[in-house]
Amino acid sequence: MDHLKQKVAHHLSVIYSDVTLDITTDTLADEVMSIMRLDSEVCNPVAHQNHWSQEDVILITYGDSIKTENQPPLQTLHGFLQDYCNDVITSVHILPFFPYSSDDGFSVINFSAVNESLGDWQDISSISGDYHLMADLVINHCSSRSLWFENFKLGREPGLDYFVTADPKDDIEQVVRPRTSPLLRETQTNEGIKHVWCTFSHDQVDLNFKNPEVLKEFIAIIRLYLDKGVKIFRLDAVAFLWKKLGTRCINLDQTHEVVRLIRTLVEHSSEHAMLITETNIPNRENLTYFGNANEAHCIYNFSLPPLLVNTLVTGNCKYLKQWMMSMPPAQNGTAYFNFIASHDGIGLRPAEGLLKDEELNTLINTMQSFGGRISWRATNGGVNKAYEINIALIDALQGTVKGPDKWGIDRFICAHAIMLSLEGIPGIYIHSLLGTGNDYEKVKHTNHNRSINRHQWDYEELVNQLGQEWTQHAQTYSRLKHLIKLRVEQPAFHPNATQFTLHLGDQMFGFWRQSMDRRQSIFCINNISDEVINLSLSDINLISTDNWCDLITGTVYDSIELGIEVQPYQTLWISNL
């Protein structure tokens, strides 16, 4: 216990090294540990222990992505998971299910309550009893309609010093923003006009972690979520957490130390709890959130979506292959979180330095021609720059730079086959599993670009669509389910199993996976073009004494000298077991 307290106190001393506190870091450590009940209940985490296997697949969904009359949406979701996903996923990420005022849940009014329109804590606990539950810790900001912000304006606690303020004359030129709105929001308070820091929107006011009371509030929230069955904590927008005038206010040392502190507290409170950092930033910066296996257990592989979509619409895997060869293997105890579609869009910042401007412009223009929208951010020079592409993935892959074609669903399945076989834990967005297209009506209704990929299904209509084999929804669900069921049976697809890139030309994206016990090898071969490609098995150095077969089709290869015609967007998982 003394060692743990020393560790917590050290984290706090680093976080508050430039802040004058009213209490000592030792006293603050005692308070933090008491909130987490670490004064009486302590787990002993094992260093570099993997909390996952090839069997783990995470479904990403809103609490009300599927609705039915006269039933709380969380109960409808639970029923859908049991009826359609029991043999597909092990975990579910329910996007913010708290009372909120904007941004579809990410402007939280009350972190400790369940949105009544979705259900209650019992519904959350029921889902966490059947699946590993991933929940958002929206840690950078809260709603301007929260009690904390109302108290801030009135000059009373809790909330008095809970928010970051600045003078418009302060040096904020370097601040990195993902939005085009002004950084500072003019706010009338009992003490006069104050300018409140808003990294995202003016309804999302940034919290002041220089005040340890704010940190303690979030430690209590973490403890509550653990008690309700949350296993995986998604640290939303955490890169922006700490502010220091005259800097970029992103990825600061104190931010990393806060992540380390949360890691220490969570893993000593719950043996299998995990942190995933949501840091939609350039690839090199994103990788730093692994720390030395002492920060995030998992980091979002944000560069994968833009690179993979670019690969499939251009028919050239050059940039994807270059990136993959540059990615360090995740050491045991850490893993990449792979995804190719989400409730947001296809982020473009993670492609900076990986795709040339000309490639990015072609990608943007192609996505716009497929019905996509573009969201923008402000740069230091005052020029707006494309931040993300908003589009449903199945529509993003309906064609190539040449236009729509007949290979849309095959291209979409190829994208998921690549994602499912890469090093890391796969996350599948519910609207990818269901083959949901662009929702233009919702965009018109909300006037928000991101709504294009946030459709709400009527459960009865969804069941009807999935029951008819010819529908886009039934085809994508059936084919993805087949791939997932194959994936979870292969030791070579363990998130930390060895991975090497193969060199098979620009139209064939290939890599080799080997199980951690070295018994199984899988050669993952993907034709990312709209042309038939002839492949000789001798090109991928199969061992002649092993028996090889394609797991997806069941085809057995009697000779490694065979030539194979790989169809457009076909994937081969050639395994020796």
Coil, strand or helix at 92: strand
Cα–Cα distance for residue pair 54/105, rounded to 1 Å: 31
Contacts of 379 (CB under 8 A, 6+ apart): 385
Where does the chain hold its CATH 2.60.40.1180 domain(s)? 498-575
Cis before 426? omega within 30: no
DSSP E strand stretches across 62-114: 66-67, 91-94
Cα–Cα distance for residue pair 190/295, rounded to 1 Å: 40
Residue type at 525 in one-letter notation = I
Cα-based angle 347, 105, 131 (whole degrees, multiple of 5): 85
Cα–Cα distance for residue pair 313/573, rounded to 1 Å: 22
Encode burial over 401-429: b for 16+ CB neighbours within 10 A, e otherwise.
eeeeeebbbbbbbbbbbbbbbbbbbbbbb
Q: Mind telling me the catalytic residues?
A: 236
* Residue 14: count of CB within 10 angstroms of its CB: 16
pLDDT at 1: 66
Q: 481: buried, middle or exposed (CB in 10 Å: 19+, 13-18, 0-12)?
A: middle
Alpha helices in 422-514 (DSSP H): 430-433, 440-446, 459-466, 472-487
pLDDT at 561: 83
Residue 84 · residue 136 · CB < 8 Å: no
Sheet with 571-575: strands ordered across: 498-503, 508-514, 521-527, 571-575, 548-550, 556-557
Q: Could you tell me the fold of the domain covering 58-98+110-134+250-490?
A: TIM Barrel (3.20.20)
The closest alpha carbon to 443, from 433, 452, 434, 435, belongs to 452
Sign of the alpha-carbon dihedral angle for 158, 159, 161, 162: positive
Most distant pair of Cα atoms in the chain: their distance: 81
Q: What is residue 438's DSSP assignment?
A: -
pLDDT at 447: 93
Residue type at 360 in one-letter notation = L
Instruction: Give CATH for domain 498-575.
Output: 2.60.40.1180
In a 13 Å sphere around the CA of 560, the CA atoms on its Cβ side amount to 15
- DSSP result, 502-544: EE--TTEEEEEEE-TTS--EEEEEEE-SSS-EEEEGGGGT--T
Instruction: Kindly state the helix (H) or strand (E) to which residue 564 belongs, with its residue range.
Output: strand 563-566
**CA 181 centroid distance within chain:** 24
pLDDT at 204: 98
Residue type at 224 in one-letter notation = L
Encode pLDDT of 96-151 as tens digits.
999 999 999 999 999 999 999 999 999 999 999 999 999 999 999 999 999 999 99
Q: Which residue in the block uniquely carries the two structure tokens 């340890």? A: 212
Write out residues in the chain with pLDDT < 70, as ranges: 1
pLDDT at 383: 79
Q: State phi, psi for 524 to the nearest 5 degrees.
A: -100, 110
Encode pLDDT of 391-448 as tens digits.
999 999 999 999 999 999 999 999 999 999 999 999 999 999 999 999 999 999 999 9
Where does the chain hold its CATH 3.20.20.80 domain(s)? 58-98+110-134+250-490
